Structure 1
């Protein structure tokens, strides 16, 4: 296909050329009615291109096939059979993929390092999770993606599972052996769904980790806004093969999606696809080179260690996206939370992820030597700054963080509930998810039995400035649990 074409952008240009007058939503009428302060801060062009997708950008019958052609070009650019755009983020896309694979009550193998959106999908659908545990690195205090052998064993123990879901890359940039996991699934005639939200750029350069479609996945979900050049909430899910019905996938997305998609998001995704198809290899090569030189400079700073080869050693991750620079601050006597806060407050630099001993600096093709130098200089200044001794985060034995799934997330979420002090929640069944964010991987999932170890981890983490935004009590002084004395088969 002609990858220099951009159907959504071309339709927008034609809309502006025709000078339409609209007696339909949106009510701001392309910015004419917007408050002056709103227009000054956001810019007039944002509103000028905020249109109805059907009936304005395209005609009421979608006769121009604007969005359809843009999706076909996206699929062609990355070698998928189908591509579907979503303006509700990969959180919607991954739920749609789950619904296309499993029916309520059916079981699905899911890596326990899944994003909270997967847990939301389980709660909405009633799918029964069979958790596949990540590999715990006791030295780095980091969870590596689950191994193919773990998926093989899980299928052997749960042969009725209808498919598998893997998260790769992780928010840390670590990657699963997708090719091996896909082979395990397909040998059994089961589909593999990959939550590849952090991997939209992977198809466009050979030095990046293997893209899920090339590894044999049946569906992969990517967030264009994370490592690409789209607006927040822009997502694409790709499909190949015949193990998942494309009609069911599209209808699943339609059940969850908005009926008022934002054309701005479509346009940005369409334009980014064209940019990558025409210049992606060149742009990503430059980004990889810049990230590599920056990594070496940071690794030379006192007290800081850039983690790369150690992450892909034996029994660790299969691969690593080297545009994600993971920086261990432990030897500097600084927590990742402190480093993140200091960089923002003192140097106006934001990093995407921080934990008790690390930060992750995300590079893309939009970075340049100036921004890289700002980061290195700021980190050098950080190592010379006297900060208070960080509060310790209790890291119990990994077994205490691998909670027993007593009932499904859906059953627990809709069960009769009560709120109890966190200490009294030990041994009880959680009725809510509790998620340190970022990276957004729940420490507690509805239906899991709460342990003392996970309570200690969360409470000490919050004391160390961990953020837990989705808990009913973000300070986790209390936790919502299933009321266990109400006529159910729950313990």
Structure 2
């Protein structure tokens, strides 16, 4: 069904391309190219999805019986990370919209109150964008964390595309986050289980982050997933802007046509963003902008 190419490409890690301890530099170079493409200091590939990446970030930021401030709109990977690490959660409620029945990322004020009550917390972890596409005030969260000498970790699984177009919400690293986790299989063209996590700054030790990921990861990583990650990076570095120009124009055209249908309402920023709701969301071009 799949043909021969996929099996010829699925080379063994040991005596193939790279392995965990005897590197020929291929994986390291691919990660360096990814970091360069998005402006991170360090980038790490995961073939076990963002569930591994999030847990690695948590374990690098806090240890057993230490505290981490997290939004209650947490993915199961965060709960698993708490169980595995023994880290004590300080929960922060998300902004819930009772009209649309959506949970938006917690506010800066909510995280600040949690840190004021638990000044010994080792860092903060927030999910942004949410699965609904709404985003938190990451710049405000980063400032608040850094004033306390604490790192901001961002589960940005739904935001792998954000670094590659100026009309998208701000990417976590550009907002000041220390670690962000992205799922290339969600918002990129990677295979299932493909994840990348990025590091910037010195509040999280890169060797600690790397070792925590190694602790959790498989010793038989899929080279097909690595290749897909590297291929997506090249596609975005060379053509990302034009691809998202076209995608956003298509979205804008579709929104405009739907809004012309009697009885239909297309949600805008006014529906999702504002006090007590989200800080930002994915944007579309203005009406009349047609795809090229």
| Same fold per superposition (TM over 0.5) | yes
Counterpart position of 1:210 = 170
In 2, Cα distance between equivalents of 1:162 and 1:64? 36
Write the distance in 1 (CA, Å) between the matches of 2:20 and 2:44: 20
Query: Residue 174 in 1 paired to residue 174 in 2?
Result: no
- Secondary structure of 2:24 counterpart: coil
- Taking structure 1 as reference, are residues 110 and 137 closer, same or farther at Cα in structure 2, changes over 3 Å only? same
Offset, 1:138:
1.9
Name 1:456's counterpart in structure 2.
Answer: none
Quick check: 53-62 or 287-296, which moved more?
53-62
TM-aligned CA deviation for residue 76 of structure 1: 0.7
Contact 1:112 1:133 in 2 (8 A): yes
SS at match of 2:266: strand
Q: Which residue of 274, 278, 282 corresponds with 2:238?
A: 278
2:279 is the counterpart of 1:318: yes
Q: How far apart, CA to CA, are the structure 1 residues paired with 2:69 and 2:23?
A: 41
Counterpart mapping for 1:299-310 below 5 A: 299-309=259-269, 310=271
- 2:59, 2:268 → 1: CA distance? 36
Greater Cα radius of gyration, structure 1 or 2: 1
1:323-345 CA distance string (max 9 Å, x none) = 7xxxxxxxxxxxxxxxxxxxxxx
**What's the TM-score, normalizing by structure 2?**
0.93
Distance 1:127 1:304 in 2: 47
Matched, 1:243 2:203: yes
Take 2:148 and 2:33, find their aligned partners in 1: how far apart are those partners? Answer: 32
Matched, 1:74 2:34: yes
Q: 1-side partners of 2:276 and 2:208: how far apart?
A: 37
- 1:249-398 equivalence runs, <5 A: 249-309=209-269, 310-322=271-283
Change in 2 beyond 3 A, CA 1:63/1:86? closer
Residues 169 and 321, structure 1, Cα contact 8 Å, conserved in 2: no
Q: Is the 8 A contact 2:17 2:24 kept in 1?
A: no
Alignment partner, residue 90 of structure 2:
130
Number of residues of Structure 1 aligned to a counterpart in Structure 2: 285
Match of 1:117 among 62, 77, 96: 77
Deviation at 1:59, TM superposition (A): 8.5
Stretches of structure 1 lacking an aligned partner (at least 5 in a row)? 1-39, 324-367, 370-491
Tell me how far 1:121 sits from its aligned partner: 0.8
Q: String of CA shifts for 1:121-179, please: whole Å, max 9, x gaps.
A: 11111111111111121222222211111111110011111100000000000000000
Q: CA deviation at 1:104?
A: 0.9
Change (3 A) 1:107 1:61: closer
* 2-structure distance, mates of 1:123, 1:206: 38
Q: What is the deviation of 1:63?
A: 5.1
Q: Does 1:95 align with 2:46?
A: no
The offset of 1:62, in angstroms, is 4.3
1:294 is paired with a residue of what secondary structure? helix
Give the deviation of 1:282 after TM superposition. Answer: 0.8
Cα distance 1:133–1:60, how it changes in 2: closer, same or farther (>3 A)?
closer
- Give SS of 1:307's match: coil
The answer to whether residue 24 in structure 2 is matched with residue 83 in structure 1 is: no
SS in 2 for 1:183: helix
Q: In structure 2, what is the equivalent of residue 47 of structure 1?
A: 7
Query: Structure 2: how far apart are the matches of 1:282 and 1:316?
Result: 31
Q: Is residue 174–residue 317 contact of structure 1 (8 Å, CA) maintained in 2?
A: yes
TM-score, length of structure 1 as denominator length: 0.56
Q: CA RMSD in A?
A: 1.7
CA–CA distance in structure 2, aligned partners of residues 182 and 98 of structure 1: 16
Q: Give the aligned partner of residue 24 of structure 1.
A: none
Q: Distance in 2 between matches of 1:203 and 1:264?
A: 24
1:445-464 matches, within 5 Å, as none
Structure 1, residues 206-248: CA drift from partner, whole Å, max 9, x if none?
1000000000100000001111110010001100101001111
The alpha carbon displacement at 1:44 in A equals: 2.1
